[in-house]
Structure 1
Amino acid sequence: MDFVAGLDLAGRFYAEVVRHLIPVPHAACLLGEGSEVLGFDTPRSRDHEWGPRAQILVGSDDDVRAVAARVEAGLPDEFAGHPVRWYSLATGTVAHHVEVAALTGWVTDALGFDPRAELDTARWLATPQQRLLHVTAGGVFRDDTGELTALRDLLAWYPDDVWRWLLASGWHLVGNAQPLYARCVETDDELGARLLTARLCGLAMELAFLQERTYRPYDKWFGAAFAGLRPAPTITPLLEAALTARPAEAGALVNRALVVLGERHDDLGLTRPTRPRVGPFEVGINDAVRPYQVINAGDFVQALRAAIADPALRATVPVGGIDQLTHADDSVVTHTDWPDLLALVYRDELRRADTGG
């Protein structure tokens, strides 16, 4: 059987089968978890949680019960050569995978909060980008009321101030890592230099996602998604060369990639003009200058922070959002309340920054 991408299969399944079972206004989509939601599924993906499936989002709990009963009774055993019922991780049984839910409840479960009620700066910073992709990626096959489309539009990208702060955090992290790499090279710590080269390559890729107004997926699809970004054809060869170069040669390749990102910065229209330059590392203590060649990351940090309108966010040290602070794996993205806890921390930090405490 020829492989059909899961998102295409879901659209056909809804159009040819599921829509005929639903008598009420609804949204039909394929969102949430799964490689097919991001468009990265392959034949390997069929070994679990893959097949004809969709979400049907309705307006009330009464509609949920009525539609769920009709779907349960009306689905065929197969569609396009694929079984309609297979093992469900959620139920622990063999079941169909047409999820019927109230729209607000489904979105709240997917994000961990209701975006129409509590989407403040702290929530933006504490929500993993992969979790935002659960709602903004995928496909919508029908939206009778327009509510789902409006929610996806609301979550499509960060407010400008949050965007500036995350970019400032990205450059801040680059500025911290570059002299560490150079010191490792200087002291013949080859392993340390290689680890920091890899970190700098990852930070450059994260900056590219932010510049492109594109949420980064978690690590399994990070590289695949990066390949679709506009700067990837220019930057990818430099990063690949840096990762395979001798440690002493990697830094110059990373700098070339960072200069490309620095040159793209002004096109964003977020700050005063700021141009990239590479030069010796100024330690900032005792007028010390080391011969390590680093990009002027601090200039981008300063320009971005100066352009933030919210005084509390502007005053908050740019340590990063959740994806910049930690590895946002499955446990953080889906299975724990760490984003909720981190939102409280960000909220407290913003409050203290606002009061100067």
Structure 2
Amino acid sequence: MTAETSEPPAFLPGLELSRILYEEGVRPVLDAAHPGLAYAAARVGSGSEVLGFDTARSADHEWGPRLNLFLADADAAALGPAIRELLAERLPKHVRGWPTHFRSDAGNELDPVSGHMTATDGPVDHRVSVDGIGSWLRRQVGSPTAELGPLDWLAVPQQRLLEATAGAVFHDGPGTLTAARARLARYPDEVWRHLLACQWQRISQEEAFVGRCAEVGDDLGSAVVAARLVRDLMRLCLLIDRGYAPYGKWLGTAFARLPVAGRLTPVLRGALAATTYPDRESRLCEAYETVAALQNATGLTEPVDPSCRPYHSRPFRVLHADRFARALAATVTESALRDRPLTGSVDQWVDNTDHLTSSRLEVPE
């Protein structure tokens, strides 16, 4: 990839490219210029490669030999600019054929923010960030130590938690990053129970609307509600598995890796493809009962009957998912969560990609 028209080299997963950049490029420079420096080297944060979802298509912007360096906050402030400049001068121009220089497209009206790898004969405009670990964690999850209280957990989008806990750590001298990732690896038990209750509550609020829309001749509305329920069931399955759900682009990819996906995916596809209400209802009920059985298998509550039933006196079959919400909510003993309404976390009451990927975190009232 030595010219704009050259064929790109063979695709490597981005995490592997980051590891090679560290081991063959960054580490030798740091060892020579700053022997004994306490730092962590990782590939975390935004980017499909952090989640392990990157493909050859990812190479068209802000993908390539990238790395995150983390120092103590004081060291980052004192040494960060000099380290970035040092790496610009001494990093190899290519890693496994991929340029380490990224062209700025700030003046490109069609693509003003994306960086693209390109060859250079001068210093490389690299993608090795140098951050204070406390400052980065504060931006990422709202706490410089990654120690979150119950309400703090509700304020952090799951995408941000994934960015902090997925990816790979190649070196961690101080151990601070590794410890923070361990604290953020999954929801604490009480928060998990609360969020599960809230997710079942979301489903209970709309499960009867699929039939009601169809009853008044609004088949499009019925299908739209069914699609919302399918998404909520997918997110619920990830939560039951104690995983975090990524934002919309990667939700299906993450769901497909769950053990239940092989059995549930055809059912959910059937619900989305259904052209009549009876078929749509039948597929949704099969999905409800499958996920309800998963919930019972966690042992968090006494078993709740997972079978669908009529919606009061109306001719619609539903799960009455509120039964699971109530059972789970009854097991929450944490005072900050016990008496909260079942509206849940930011992901359960906000549906805006910019907000869910934002570093401006606020605890909900």
Please give the secondary structure, in 2, of the residue aligned with 1:110. helix
Residue number in structure 2 paired with 1:40 = 53
Residue number in structure 1 paired with 2:280 = 250
The alignment status of 1:111 with 2:111, answered yes or no, reads no
Report 1:301-312 matches (<5 A): 301-312=325-336
Q: Is the CA contact (8 Å cut-off) linking 1:235 and 1:260 kept in structure 2?
A: yes
Residue number in structure 1 paired with 2:25 = 17
TM-aligned CA deviation for residue 88 of structure 1:
5.0
TM-aligned CA deviation for residue 38 of structure 1:
0.9
Q: Is the CA contact (8 Å cut-off) linking 2:195 and 2:344 kept in structure 1?
A: yes
Distance 1:311 1:113, change over 3 A: closer
Equivalent residue letter for 1:180: F
TM-aligned CA deviation for residue 166 of structure 1:
1.0
Residue number in structure 2 paired with 1:5 = 13
* TM-score after normalising by structure 1: 0.88
Q: Out of 270, 283, 302, which is 1:272 matched to? A: 302
Q: Which runs of 4+ in 1 moved over 6 A?
A: 89-94
Q: Is the CA contact (8 Å cut-off) linking 2:198 and 2:325 kept in structure 1?
A: yes
TM-aligned CA deviation for residue 63 of structure 1:
4.3
Equivalent residue letter for 1:140: V
Counterpart CA distance in 2 for 1:50 and 1:96 is 11
The alignment status of 1:193 with 2:183, answered yes or no, reads no
The runs of 5 or more residues in structure 2 that have no matched partner are 1-8, 107-111, 116-123
TM-aligned CA deviation for residue 333 of structure 1:
2.9
TM-aligned CA deviation for residue 260 of structure 1:
0.9
TM-aligned CA deviation for residue 64 of structure 1:
3.0
Residue number in structure 2 paired with 1:126 = 155
Distance 1:154 1:120, change over 3 A: same
CA RMSD in angstroms comes to 2.0
Residue number in structure 2 paired with 1:299 = 323
Residue number in structure 1 paired with 2:97 = 81
Q: Is the CA contact (8 Å cut-off) linking 1:281 and 1:292 kept in structure 2?
A: yes
Equivalent residue letter for 1:68: R
Distance 1:328 1:163, change over 3 A: farther
Q: CA deviation digits over 1:153-191, x for unaligned, max 9?
A: 111111111111111111111111111111112222101
Residue number in structure 1 paired with 2:40 = 27
Aligned length: 334
Please give the secondary structure, in 1, of the residue aligned with 2:171. strand
Q: Is the CA contact (8 Å cut-off) linking 1:28 and 1:142 kept in structure 2?
A: yes
TM-aligned CA deviation for residue 274 of structure 1:
2.1
Distance 1:110 1:89, change over 3 A: farther
Please give the secondary structure, in 2, of the residue aligned with 1:95. coil
Please give the secondary structure, in 2, of the residue aligned with 1:254. helix
Report 1:326-345 matches (<5 A): 326-329=350-353, 331-335=354-358, 337=360, 339-340=361-362, 343=363
- Going by fraction, where is helix more abundant, 1 or 2? 1
Q: Is the CA contact (8 Å cut-off) linking 1:10 and 1:30 kept in structure 2?
A: yes
TM-aligned CA deviation for residue 2 of structure 1:
1.4
Residue number in structure 2 paired with 1:218 = 247
TM-aligned CA deviation for residue 89 of structure 1:
7.4
Percentage identity across paired residues of the two chains: 38
Q: Is the CA contact (8 Å cut-off) linking 2:159 and 2:244 kept in structure 1?
A: yes
Q: Out of 217, 230, 254, which is 2:259 matched to? A: 230
The 10-residue stretch of structure 1 (79-88 or 230-239) with the greater mean CA deviation from structure 2: 79-88
